[in-house]
Amino acid sequence: MIEKHLAICAIILPTLLLSVGYPAYGQTMPQFSLNTNKMTYGPEDLIQVTMKTDTVQPYAAIATQILDPDGHLVGINQGVFGQDGTYSFVMKLHGPLWQKYGTYTIVANYGSNSSNVVMAKSSFDFEPLQQHQTTTEKIPHWVKSIFAWYGQGKISDDDLLNAIKFLVESNIIQLKTG
């Protein structure tokens, strides 16, 4: 009796394994890439994460996690690809979770259901502020970078407006009224 069950499992299990997590015959899994604007960041820097795909899936979300050198979650983001197959977000590297220096990992999962989720990874180094940065700078380098990216077409109007909103809400840029 046990041999009969083992024989059935030997036939059914490979069939199930081949059918789970793979697209239907003739379809290909979407490919996507993940990049950052720099390879090394310091405390209070802004990181821009840009993703591209060759296949925009309707209703498919991108779930992104940033992990410290020990694998602990320090940042999250969720979004969807635009019609052009791109998605980007900007995050300020500050707060109590950003304590460890070393290599951080960005992991993004993309797909509309569990059978077609694909993953992309990237990494960057998190280090103390560079010696060449001085406290006498009138405009921090990361603020300049935002406008440079906008001028180069690397971020959208909405991304620029969100960054400006963040700068105002954080009192990095102060507006006079009245």
Per-residue confidence (pLDDT) for residue 131, from 0 to 100: 42
Its pTM surpasses 0.85: no
Enumerate the domain spans of the chain: 26-169
34: pLDDT confidence band, cut at 50, 70 and 90? very high
In this predicted model, what pLDDT tens digit does every residue of 40-57 receive, in sequence order?
A: 898 889 999 999 988 888
Note whether 63 and 51 are within 8 A (CB): no
Question: What pLDDT is recorded for position 128?
Answer: 63
pLDDT on residue 140: 65
CATH class of 26-169: mainly beta
